[in-house]
Amino acid sequence: MGHWTIQAVANWLLGGAMLLSLVGCSMKVPPQADAGQPVALIPLPQKHQPGPGAFRLQEGTSIVLSSESAELRELGEYLAALLHETSGRSLPVSASFLESMAKTRPQILLRVNPTLAVGAEGYALSIQEGRIVCEAKAPIGLFWAVQTLRQMIYQQQAGSAPGQELRLPVQEIHDEPTFAWRGLLLDMSRHFMSKDFLKRYIDLLALYKLNTLHLHLTDDQGWRLQIPNYPKLTSTGAWRQEPDGSTHGGFYTQADIREIVAYAQSRYITVVPEVDMPGHVQAALAAYPELSCTGGPFRVSNRAGVHPDILCAGNEQTYAFVENVLAEVARLFPGQYVHIGGDEAPKNRWKACAKCQARMKKENLPDEEALQGYFTKRASAVLQRYQKKPIVWDEALKGGISAGTLVQAWHGPAAAKEAVAVGAPVINSPRSAFYFDLNSGITPLEKVYHHPMVPAQLPAGQQQLVLGAEAALWTEDVPQERVDEMIFPRLLAFAENAWGHQAGSGYPDFRERVQAHYPVLERLGVRYGFGARPITFVPKYVVEQDAFAVTLEAGLRQVELRYTLDGTEPTRASALYTGVPVQFAQSTQLRVRPFKGEEPYGATAQASFVKHLALNRVPALAHPFHTAYAAGGGAALTDGILADNDYRKGFWQGFEKEDLEAIIDLGAEKEVREVSISFLQDTNSWIFLPTQVTFSSSNDKNSFKTLAVLKHAIPLKEEGPVRKEFTQQLPPTKTRYLRVRARNVGVCPPWHPGAGGAAFLMADELIVR
Task: Encode pLDDT of 152-204 as tens digits.
Answer: 999 988 877 666 788 999 999 999 999 999 999 999 999 999 999 999 999 99
Report the distance separating Cα 646 and Cα 631, nearest Å. Answer: 12
CATH 3.30.379.10 spans which residues of the chain?
6-175
Instruction: Give the ranges where 113-161 is alpha helix by DSSP (H).
Output: 139-158
Quote the crossing angle between the two packed helices 254-266 and 316-332, to the nearest 10°: 50
Report the distance separating Cα 247 and Cα 75, nearest Å. Answer: 42
CB burial of residue 767 (10 Å; 0-12, 13-18, 19+):
buried
pLDDT of 30 above 70: no
pLDDT grade, residue 632 (50/70/90)? confident
Residues 6+ apart with CB under 8 A from 169: 29, 32, 35, 36, 37, 38, 39, 50, 51, 53, 54, 127, 152
- Mean pLDDT, the chain, whole residue set: 91
CA dihedral angle for residue 432, residue 433, residue 438, residue 444, rounded to 10 degrees: 130
Phi first, then psi, for residue 212 (nearest 5°) are -140, 130
Q: Which of 417-421, 533-537, 676-680, 709-713 shows the lowest per-residue confidence on average (mean pLDDT)? A: 533-537
For residue 747, CA distances in Å to 343, 399, 556, 627 come to: 19, 22, 38, 19
Q: What is the mean pLDDT of residues 660-675?
A: 95
CATH 2.60.40 spans which residues of the chain?
533-608
181-452+465-523 classified as CATH 3.20.20.80: yes
For a pLDDT cut of 90, what percent of the chain falls above it?
Answer: 81
Q: What is the DSSP letter of 648?
A: G
What's the pLDDT at 752? Answer: 86
SS (H, E, C) 166-230: CEEEEEEEEECCCCCEEEEEEECCCCCCCHHHHHHHHHHHHHCCCCEEEEECEECCEECECCCCC
CB 44 within 8 A of CB 516: no
CB 594 within 8 A of CB 534: yes
CATH 3.20.20.80 spans which residues of the chain?
181-452+465-523
Beta bridge partners of 551: 538
Strands 560-564 and 222-223: unpaired
6-175 classified as CATH 3.30.379.10: yes
Which residues are catalytic, by number? Answer: 344
Q: Which of 92-96, 401-405, 428-432 shows the lowest per-residue confidence on average (mean pLDDT)? A: 92-96
Q: What is the mean pLDDT of residues 626-642?
A: 89
pLDDT of 20 above 70: no
What's the pLDDT at 504? Answer: 60
Helix, strand, or coil here: 375?
A: helix
Report the distance separating Cα 578 and Cα 589, nearest Å. Answer: 19
What's the pLDDT at 550? Answer: 94
Q: What is the DSSP string of 612-644?
A: -TTTT-PPEESSPPPGGG-TTSTTGGGSSEEP-
533-608 CATH: 2.60.40
CATH 2.60.120.1190 spans which residues of the chain?
610-769
In one letter, which amino acid is 241?
A: Q
610-769 CATH: 2.60.120.1190
Which of 220, 213, 323 lies closest to 272, judged by CA? 213
Which of 227, 170, 144, 132 lies closest to 35, judged by CA? 170
CB 677 within 8 A of CB 765: yes
* pLDDT, tens only, 511-563: 999 999 999 999 999 999 999 989 988 888 888 888 999 999 999 999 999 99
Question: How many residues does the structure list for the chain?
Answer: 769
For residue 345, CA distances in Å to 288, 325, 361, 685, 754 come to: 18, 19, 20, 16, 10
* pLDDT, tens only, 724-756: 999 999 999 999 999 999 999 999 999 887 889
pLDDT of 18 above 50: no
For residue 294, CA distances in Å to 309, 656, 677, 757 come to: 8, 36, 43, 28
Q: What is the DSSP letter of 435?
A: B
